[in-house]
Structure 1
Amino acid sequence: MTGVKYITDEKGERTDVVINLRKHGKSLEDFFDFLVFEERKNEETISLESLLSELKA
């Protein structure tokens, strides 16, 4: 894959990755959005009206 470089340890195992953001920035942003979604999907939700009411208080 172009625009992606792997860094390996002394055993030849991949430990890090360098990603060209000009080429893959949008995909990386989508990936991070997905990770945030997965982390928060079981959190309690509140309505917009409740949020606005709390912010005004």
Structure 2
Amino acid sequence: MTAIHPQYITDTVGQKLVVLSIQEFDAMIEELEELEDIKMYDKAKKEDNGERVLFSDYLKNRKAKNA
């Protein structure tokens, strides 16, 4: 993980806010998206029943449904 250097400020109503550089924010978002991808992959692997469909068959079925 990229090191982050947060700064803290308080707004006019006393709520604390965190300030990050845009580079740190972008790196954090990238890592969160990668984690989400890993979770989705793990879920798909867990739910995989081994059934496969040929791409050509998928296209035929999709075309038939949209006709």
Q: TM-score, normalised by structure 2?
A: 0.45
Give the CA deviation at 1:45: 3.4
**2:32 matched to 1:32?**
no
Give the CA deviation at 1:53: 1.1
- Higher strand proportion: 1
SS at the partner of 2:53? coil
Identity %: 19
- Mark the runs of 5 or more structure 1 residues left unpaired by the alignment: 5-19
Pair member with larger Rg = 2
- CA distance in structure 2 between the partners assigned to 1:55 and 1:27 by the alignment: 34
**Which residue number corresponds to residue 60 of structure 2?**
53
**Which residue number corresponds to residue 4 of structure 2?**
2
- Mark the runs of 5 or more structure 2 residues left unpaired by the alignment: 7-23
Give the CA deviation at 1:50: 1.9
Q: TM-score, normalised by structure 1?
A: 0.51
